[in-house]
A and B are shown apart, each in its own frame.
Chain A
Amino acid sequence: MRTAVFWGCVIPNAQYAYELSVREVLPRLGVELVDLEDVSCCGTPIMSVNMNAFLYLAARNLAIAEKTGLKTLLVPCSGCRLSFSEAMHYLRRDEKLQEKINSLLKDEGLEYTGTIRMRFITDLLCNVVKKEYIQKLTKKTLNELKLASHYGCHAIRPSSIERTDDPENPRNLDDLIGWLGARSEAYPEKLDCCGSLLLWSHHDAAFTFAGLKLKAIQDRGFDGVVVTCPACHMMFDERQKAVASTVGSKLDLPVLYYTQLLGLAMGIEEEKLGLHLNRSPVDKLLEKIG
């Protein structure tokens, strides 16, 4: 299949490992990615400032995606998923609002019609690529690993809009990990938030959110954490040392993107998956995989 892809702000400006691994893995699974021109921030970061400006940004990016004529838009960032699902919901429900936003889009010759289908990365892998294809292409089984799945709040909530997973007991990521032979065990803190959106107002509290979750995962003897959101990954991986100080303990926990894990199972070289860019101690995990 061919799909448009929307990278957002955090992935293409700061989380290159995610972009590299998505670009490396998906085409091998039969998904051709089409980059979008002139896109901008998805809008989520300014929901707090002005809802109309948020809707404008969301609808503008969606309109650019629609212009490609493609039927699907792949979204690998859960923050962007929130923006688009909310905007689609509001604009579908309210014709006048859609007209108002479209009158802004007209300045650039764009129009939002609501015809493209958005798919979050785990949704695409679970429901379009599917288990059989993934398992056909995996060369290594990861049965030595016990991994903690971290979903990302905006990947599973709100569920009322386009329910692709159970918001209280999400399964997609756990299934995806399990298909590679690794154990994805349940843990009580699974649905806890990484805290990243508090960075804009309460920096220390944001770090404590992340620290508490990582500490709990580490104490439960997991080999690593698997994420699918660049904001969560930044909190858990790049900032791991700093967040450790908020909970007063040493953290030494490998954190990686699902697409990196999948790539490893497919036998792809580490550098191609951006694994040299992870700041958390992923070497421990790589040794176990062999």
Chain B
Amino acid sequence: MTITDLMTTKKPDSKLRLKVLEKIGEHKPYNCFQCIRCTSGCPAMKMLELKPHEIVNLAKLGFIEDVVNSGIIWTCAMCLKCKERCPQEVAPVDLILALRNLAVEMEAKIPEGHLKNVSMILETGFILTPREAITRKLEKYSRDKLGLPKLPKPSEKFKATFLKALGTS
């Protein structure tokens, strides 16, 4: 949905807008003057049609719910070029992260991979479990066999505190 579509069919939500603003610290969308520098260097624009300047504009105007539910916020590759280059210090990527956090809070559809990261950390402390390396000659090597030290395991206390942290917003 384009901005023009939204402006004619939807109403901005000022409460949600404030909620997003609270999450992004000093990088305020209202400093954006729509120069499109962020979008012109965005790798996800070329591949997945993400337009960070448009996300900034929508947030600025308060069309939060539509962005949160649109799925487009999950196309950002987190390369941070937009944050580096914005002449107004708006940091579109930080806004996108705030909108993703809000999508989780509002129980919108979240890509599996992101949810899996959370459950893996809860279970093992890491997003991956140790796996066997396979060489070019197809031999297998474990950490042990390579002489690398044992990995730490998360304590029950860590798991409980991590859960507590996940419960805060």
Residue B154 at the A interface, CB < 8 A? yes
Contact partners of B136 in chain A: CB under 8 A? 276, 278-279, 281-283
Residue A19 at the B interface, CB < 8 A? yes
* A38-B97 in contact (CB<8A): no
Which of B6-14, B28-36, B58-66, B118-126 lies at the binding interface? B118-126
Q: Which of B75, B137, B149 touches A35 (beta carbons < 8 Å)?
A: B149
Report the Cα distance A157→B143, complex, angstroms: 31
* B104-A49 in contact (CB<8A): yes
Q: Which of B101, B152, B157 touches A108 (beta carbons < 8 Å)?
A: B157
Per-residue CB proximity of B65-79 to A under 8 Å, as 1/0?
000000000110111
Main secondary structure of the interface of A (DSSP, over half): helix
Contact partners of B111 in chain A: CB under 8 A? 200-201
* B43-A209 in contact (CB<8A): yes
Per-residue CB proximity of A174-210 to B under 8 Å, as 1/0?
0000000000000000011101011111100110110
Chain A contacts with B in 113-155, Cβ cutoff 8 A:
153-154
* A48-B101 in contact (CB<8A): yes
Residue A222 at the B interface, CB < 8 A? no
Residue B114 at the A interface, CB < 8 A? yes
Report the Cα distance A59→B155, complex, angstroms: 17
Per-residue CB proximity of B91-132 to A under 8 Å, as 1/0?
000000110110010000011111111100100011111110
* B84-A158 in contact (CB<8A): yes
- Size class of A's contact patch? 35 or more
Contact partners of B128 in chain A: CB under 8 A? 9-10, 13-14
Contact partners of A195 in chain B: CB under 8 A? 43, 77
Q: Knowing A108-B158, A276-B136, A277-B133 touch, does A16 contact B125 (C-beta < 8 A)? A: no
* A200-B113 in contact (CB<8A): yes
Residue B160 at the A interface, CB < 8 A? yes
Q: Knowing A9-B126, A41-B126 touch, does A46 contact B121 (C-beta < 8 A)? A: yes
* B84-A157 in contact (CB<8A): yes
* A20-B164 in contact (CB<8A): no
Residue A104 at the B interface, CB < 8 A? yes
Q: Knowing A51-B101, A56-B165, A104-B165 touch, does A16 contact B141 (C-beta < 8 A)? A: yes
Chain B residue with Cβ nearest A108: B157
Contact partners of A82 in chain B: CB under 8 A? 80
* B118-A49 in contact (CB<8A): yes
Residue B48 at the A interface, CB < 8 A? yes
Report the Cα distance A198→B137, complex, angstroms: 30
Residue A50 at the B interface, CB < 8 A? yes
Report the Cα distance A282→B74, complex, angstroms: 35
Contact partners of A19 in chain B: CB under 8 A? 148
Q: How far is the CB of A34 from chain B (nearest CB, A)?
A: 12
B interface, CB within 8 angstroms of A: 23, 25, 43-44, 47-48, 74-75, 77-81, 83-84, 97-98, 100-101, 104, 110-118, 121, 125-131, 133-137, 139, 141, 143, 146, 148-149, 151-152, 154-155, 157-158, 160-162, 164-166, 168-169
